[in-house]
Chains A and B, each alone.
Chain A
Amino acid sequence: MLRVVVLYPDLLGTYGDGGNAMVLAARARARGVDVEVHDVTIGEVIPRAALYLLGGGEDGPQRLACDLLVDGGFVDRVEEGGHVFAVCAGLQILGTTFSIEGDASYRGVGLVDAWTTRGPTRSVGNFATLVRGRMMVGFENHGGVTELGDNVEPFGDVVVGRGNDGIVDGFRTPRVTATYAHGPVLAQNPWLADELLSAVTGQALAPWPSVADRLYVERCDAVSTRRSDVDRTGGRR
C-alpha cells in the first residue's frame, strides 16, 4: 500500500492543491499500485507515509502549518524515508526561514538550506520551468524571493515567470521536490507525476495515455508562444 499524506489541506490548500493527490492516486491505481490518500488536518498526528504533499496558503495559516509540522515531528518522518512534494507556500515552509505578515522573518521547518524573503512585487501568471531538459508548465502567484544554499540544487531553470528569483525555480534533494508552480501542477504535467511516483515506488511505470497528455502539449504551446526558444512539443530537447 502506497500511503500519500496531504499535510494540512485546511491551512495549505488555496489553489486546488488537493488536485496533486488526486492525480498521483489516479495514475498509480491505473498502473495497479494500491494507494491510500490521507488528509492530515489541524490537531491530527502526522503518520508515516511514502509521500507527503504540501500546498500553498496565506500568511497566518502558513505560519500555523509550519508550527504544526515542527511540533509534529515532520522532519523525523522524512528522515525515516518519506518523500516530499511541495508547492508555493509549502516550498517556503521547508526552508530555514520565510517572510510573513509584512517583512517579519519566521523560522521554517529547516529540511532544506533555503530561505525566503518578500520580493518587491508579487508574481502572478503563467509559469514554466525547464527541469533537466523537460518543460514543466503551471501558474504562480506569490511574493517571495527564495535563495538556495551552496549545496542545494534548484528544481529547474525559469523560462516564464519568477520562481525563486527569475532564474531558477524551487529545489530538489534525493527525496524532496519543491516548485513555485502552485495548485494542481501535477495535473498539467503528467510526466512529473509519473516521475514522482517512480521515485517513491522504485518502479518504472508503463505509459498511461490520457487527455492529460493533450493538455500538457497545449499548455507548453501556450508558453512557447511567449518564448520562442521553448521546445514546442513540450518534450525533451
Chain B
Amino acid sequence: MAPMTLRLSWRARLAVTSLVVVNTTSRWLGRGSGTVAGGRVGLAIEPKLLSELARARTVVLVTGTNGKTTTSAMLRQGWGSDVGGNVTGANMPAGHVAALCTSRGPRVVLETDEAWLAAVVEATTPAVVVLLNLSRDQLDRANEVRQMAQRWRDCLTPQRFSGVVVANAADPLVVFAAEGSTHVRWVHVPLAWRADASSCPHCTRAITFGDDHWSCECGFSQPTDLVARLSEVLEIAGGSYPLDLALPGEFNEINAALAATALVELGEDVELVLGRIRTLHSVQGRYGRRRYGNRDVRLLLAKNPAGTAALFDSIDVDSEVWVAINAQVADGKDPSWLYDVPFEVLRGRRIACLGERRLDLATRLLYGSVDCDVIDDPDVLRRATTPVTLVANYTAFRDWMARTSPC
C-alpha cells in the first residue's frame, strides 16, 4: 500500500493497486520474492510511478560494483526504525517502486544497479548518493567499466543533481564520477582493487599509486579534503571510532565507513549510527551459517573479481572451501572473470568446484596450481561433518540458500 502522506494521481493509484495485486499473487503462487513482476506492471501503467512514490521522502541511493546490498542494510539499520528500501536486492526501478509501495515511512534507502543510477537519480531526487566503488563486473551486460564512470559523472553534474554525493576517495573511477558534482563528501578508505583504474579516466596515462595516495601527471589526483578516513579506526566528525563490526572483512568496514558518513551528513549522531550498524550479523543470508546434511556452512556471495578477492581473508581457517559458479544472465554469461581472481592465495587447500560452470572453475584452479575436485553431485558432500565456507556467485548463492536450511 502506498504511504498515506502521498498524493498520487489517479494513474499512479491504479498502478500501485495493480502492483500490489500482482506481487501478492506472485508470492501466493510461490514465484519469486514478489517484487519485480508487480513493479513492471506498475511502471507500465504509470511510467513516472517511481517519481510519484519518492516525492516528499528523504531518499538515499547506494550504488557501486560491490557492497550495495550490505551498505544499504547498514544505512537502514543505522538510520533507526521504519526505514524503507528494496531489502530483497531488486535494484532496478521495478524493484524500487515495489519497495516504495510497501513502506510508509519518510526515509528510504534504495540499492541501485550501477547502470540505472541516472534514471533513478532523476526520478527520486535523492538527498544523498553513495558511490562505493567501480570495477569490472558482468561485462557482457554492462560492457565497459570506464563508460559506467562517465555515465555516473554525467548524471551527477550540478545541472542534474543538487544533493550530496558521499564518495570513496581511494577509487579513481569513483572520484572521476563524483568530482563535478556540487556537494561531494570524500571518504578515504583502504583500496585493495586497482586493476580497473591503472589508466587515468581523463587522459589514459598511468595513475601512480602510493601507500595512501594516487595521482596522474595530468593533475587528476586523490582528493585531500576528506570528511572521513578509515584506517584502524573511523575518523569522522572530529572523533575516532573503532568499528568492531559483527560482519567479517575489511570490505565491510569500508561499507560501514561510507554508510556512517552518509548518515552523519543527514544529521544523525555518529555513535548512535555505529552502535546500530554493529548489530548487523547477516544480510540476505550472506555471512550467515546454514545446515547442509551434517555440515555447518557459511555462505559468502562473490560476483566479480574484486568482490571475490576481498572475501578470501574472511574464509575460516579450519573449514573446507567450496566454490560454486554459475553463468546465467544474472551472473553475467561469461565466466572469464575467474582469471582475474587471485585464487592462488588458496594454494594448500583443496577446493570443491560446484555450480553449472564448475569445469571453468576447475580449469582456472588447475592453471593456478590450486588442488581441487569437480563435484558433479553435491549430495556426496552432505555426510561429512567438517564445517564449510561456501563462496558462490549470484544464482549459485541462491541455489545454495535453497539447498541448505537455517541453523
Contacts and interface: CB of A to CB of B under 8 A. Distances in A.
A208 to B, nearest CB: 11
B334 A58 contact: no
A141 B140 contact: yes
A211 B334 contact: no
Interface string B346-374: 00000000000001101110111100001
Interface in A88-138: 122, 124-126
A116 to B, nearest CB: 16
Contacts of B366: 26, 210-212
B333 A139 contact: yes
Interface residues of B, number: 33
B359 A214 contact: yes
Contacts of A58: 144-147
B82 interface: no
B205 interface: yes
A184 B336 contact: yes
A58 B139 CA distance: 11
Given A42-B199, A58-B147, A124-B140, A215 B360 contact: yes
B136 A14 contact: yes
B198 interface: yes
B19 to A, nearest CB: 31
A59 to B, nearest CB: 8
Chain A: number of interface residues, binned into ranges: 35 or more
Most buried by B among A125, A126, A211: A211
Interface in A131-181: 139, 141
9 contacts: A16-B340, A18-B340, A42-B206, A60-B199, A61-B146, A64-B199, A183-B334, A214-B359, A215-B362
Contacts of A212: 363, 366-367
A70 to B, nearest CB: 15
Contacts of A187: 339, 360, 363-364, 367
B204 interface: yes
Contacts of B369: 26
Nearest to A67: B204
Contact of A125 (B140, B201, B360): B140
Contacts of A10: 195, 198-199, 206
A27 B241 CA distance: 51
A21 B370 CA distance: 17
B144 A183 contact: no
Contacts of B337: 15-16
Contacts of B145: 58
Contacts of A231: none
Interface in B187-224: 195, 198-199, 201, 204-206
A141 B334 contact: yes
Contact of B139 (A14, A43, A63, A211): A14
B341 to A, nearest CB: 8
A103 B368 CA distance: 40
Contacts, number: 103
Contacts of A182: 336
Contacts of A17: 339
A60 B204 contact: yes
B226 interface: no
Nearest to A139: B334
A215 B334 contact: no
B55 to A, nearest CB: 36
Contacts of B195: 10, 13
Residue of B305, B339, B362 most packed against chain A (CB within 10 A): B339
Given A16-B338, A125-B140, A215 B359 contact: yes
A43 to B, nearest CB: 6
Interface in B140-194: 140, 143-147
Closest 9 pairs between A and B when the two form their complex, measured CB to CB: A16-B339, A19-B339, A183-B336, A10-B198, A16-B336, A60-B204, A215-B359, A42-B206, A139-B334
Given A10-B199, A125-B333, A212-B367, 17 more contacts: A15-B139, A19-B336, A19-B339, A19-B364, A42-B199, A42-B205, A58-B146, A58-B147, A61-B199, A64-B204, A139-B336, A141-B139, A141-B140, A141-B143, A182-B336, A211-B363, A215-B363
A23 interface: yes
Interface in A13-68: 13-19, 22-23, 26, 41-43, 58, 60-61, 63-64
Nearest to A211: B362
Given A63-B204, A64-B204, A14 B144 contact: yes
Nearest to B337: A16
A141 B335 CA distance: 13
Nearest to A182: B336
B303 to A, nearest CB: 14
Interface string B91-105: 000000000000000
Contacts of B367: 19, 22-23, 26, 187, 212
Nearest to B203: A60
Interface in A200-218: 210-212, 214-215, 218
B204 A18 contact: no
Contacts of B336: 15-16, 19, 139, 182-184
Interface string B124-143: 00000000000010011001
Contacts of A211: 359, 362-363, 366, 374
A5 interface: no
A218 B369 CA distance: 22
B199 A11 contact: yes
Interface in A180-237: 182-184, 187-188, 210-212, 214-215, 218
A23 B338 CA distance: 13
Interface in B7-39: none
B363 to A, nearest CB: 5
Contacts of A126: 333
Nearest to A25: B367
A185 B383 CA distance: 37
